[in-house]
Amino acid sequence: MLKNKLKFIAILLISFLLCSYSSVLAVDTNTAEATQYGVMPISEEVNTTDSSTNSIEPREGTSDGSETVEPVATDDPSNGIVTEGEVTTEGDLTADTTAETTSTPGSKFLKGDNVTIDENISGNLFVYANSVTINSQIDGDAFVITKNLTVSETGYVINNLFVISDEVLINGVSNNLYVSAKNVSIENGFIYSDLYVNCENLNIHGSVGRDVISKFDNVSFTTDSLVGLISGNFTYYANEDLQIPTEYIQGTVERKDLPTATFQDYLVLLGSLLVLTLVIWGLSKWISPKFIDNSTKLLKVKKVAIALSGLIGLIGLPIVAFVLLLIGITSNVGLILLLLYMILVFIAKPVFLIATSQYISEKLKMNKTIASLGILILTGIVLWAICLIPYVGFVISIITIIIGIGILFTNLLTRASNADLDKLVEKRKENKSKNKNSKKEKKSNDNNLKETNENK
């Protein structure tokens, strides 16, 4: 039993490592891309931008395109990260520093009411706060969830800036910007590469180095003193043509219909579900052959335990993961737990299909491998079709995920051996048989009593 559990844990760890490797490749690709398009870090040794090698227009207050980045003064003598309200960080961000030493190594995880970042961060930045202001350089990616985000003129995100917010104001620089918000304004800012935006009101008064991919209700490119410029293409999603001023766009303007699912898309989803289910089924047969049998037996005798553990796993795990993320010292554990949760949700439906199809196979007494595979595929098609039904399909999908997670948890945590599970299954059969015989006996007695009364 312990050996099977270790194999199960090994599968999850391998999946985690594969996902981590993909993330590393993505970061490396983004870094190379940033270098290709001229994104260079701001440092104390390099305080000017050569206008002959860069197409950035001179900012206000300079005549030759040069720009000196000065540390932003704050009320905090540390000249570091200034916050109002509760703050949790990983690492020492409040140690005494001077204006010349404003670099913090490693990734940072911050939360609070109002968070102001005034010191350079050499890794990635994760922030959850009511209000966030970035006044410094972020060498990696920045992930921000807030009501109001401001990137000041000295703010500089080397890689990608990911934002979920109500109000977003960009006066600084970022490589790529991915944002979902109510109002987005690129005022005096510059996006080196691409802008991906989903909002109600989009104001581009700064510059975008490449393409804009957007969905919005309203868009503007000019103010009294600022004129926006897009060096690449402008693509927007809408069901009808909108008035887009093409004089501010050097590339082409293209409208795309809002995406709607086609029958081909549904077939792709079906194929993906079946392929993933068959892969997990094959790995289970190869690595842990008893996993499928145990899952089916647990589904028979521990329905309540499976449902409760699945519900706790679906709701409780992400809550615990986010709490750990907000506590600086356990943020890495929170990231790992969140990734494991995503893997569990991803494989929960296939696990449900495998256990359910095995249960049906036993009921139909079709235990041969080919027959079991056929029932597995047929069960997957039926579930896929049910999930297409509006509203009902969503509920059924959630239920299958809950049961799938419950099966995984119960399999991993249960102490019952195969013999114990067999005994529970036999006991359940005996109880069913006794109940059935009792009902027959009661019905027979009732009939005899009725006949006796009629004879009298």
pLDDT confidence bin for 440, thresholds 50/70/90: low
Residue 129 resides in a domain: yes
If asked whether residues 265 and 402 sit together in one domain, one would say yes
Query: Does residue 287 fall inside a structural domain?
Result: yes
Q: How far apart are CA 82 and CA 72, in angstroms?
A: 11
In a domain, 24, yes or no: no
pTM: 0.55
| Residue 62 lies inside a defined structural domain of this protein | no
The set of long-range contacts for 56-60, using a CB threshold of 8 Å and a minimum separation of 24, is 56/190, 56/207, 57/207, 59/153, 59/188, 60/188
**In the predicted structure, residue 27 carries a pLDDT above the cut 60:** no
Q: Are residues 292 and 381 in the same domain?
A: yes
Is 363 found in the same domain as 248?
Answer: no
Q: Would you say residue 20 has pLDDT above 60?
A: no
**Structural domains counted in the chain:** 2
Express each pLDDT in 157-211 by its tens digit: 999 999 999 999 999 999 999 999 999 999 889 999 999 999 999 999 999 999 9
- Per-residue pLDDT at 110: 85
Does 248 share its domain with 360?
no
Q: 301: phi > 0 → left, psi -120 to 50 → alpha, else beta; which?
A: alpha
pLDDT at 21: 40
- Write down which residue in 256, 272, 306 finishes a domain: 256
Q: Is the residue at 23 inside a domain?
A: no
Same domain for 243 and 315? no
Residues 245 and 272 in one domain: no
Band the pLDDT of 311: cuts 50, 70, 90. Answer: very high
Determine the pLDDT at residue 293: 81
**What pLDDT, on the 0 to 100 scale, is given for residue 46?**
34
Check residue 116 and give its pLDDT: 92
Range of the domain at 249: 81-256
Least confident of 235-244, 328-337, 434-443: 434-443
- CA–CA gap between residue 185 and residue 169 (Å, rounded): 5
Would strands 207-208 and 125-134 be described as parallel, antiparallel, or unpaired?
unpaired
Could you tell me if 229 and 278 lie in one domain?
no
Residues 244 and 283 in one domain: no
Is 424 contained in some domain? yes
Domain boundary among 240, 256, 272: 256
Domain presence at residue 20: no
3-state secondary structure of 170: strand
Are 275 and 247 contained in the same domain?
no
What gap in Å lies between CA 153 and CA 143, rounded to an integer?
A: 19
Contacts of 93 (CB under 8 A, 6+ apart): 80, 81, 104, 108, 110, 119
Q: Return the axis-axis angle of helices 263-287 and 331-364, rounded to nearest 10°.
A: 90
Instruction: Calculate mean pLDDT across residues 108-122.
Output: 87
User: Using alpha carbons only, what angle is made at residue 67 by residues 65 and 72, rounded to the nearest 5 degrees?
Assistant: 155
pLDDT of residue 295: 82
pLDDT above 90 as % of the chain: 38
- Compute the CA torsion angle 39, 40, 41, 43 (nearest 10 deg): -150
Burial class (CB in 10 A: 0-12, 13-18, 19+), 224: exposed
Residue 12 counted as domain residue: no
SS3 361: helix
324 & 364 share domain: yes
Indicate whether 221 and 293 sit together in one domain. no
One domain, residues 248 and 267: no
In degrees, rounded to 5, the angle at the alpha carbon of residue 210 between the alpha carbons of residues 207 and 211 is: 100
Q: What pLDDT shows up at residue 186? A: 92
DSSP letter, residue 248: G
Domain boundary among 256, 282, 301: 256
Q: How confident is the model at residue 94 (pLDDT cuts 50, 70, 90)?
A: very low
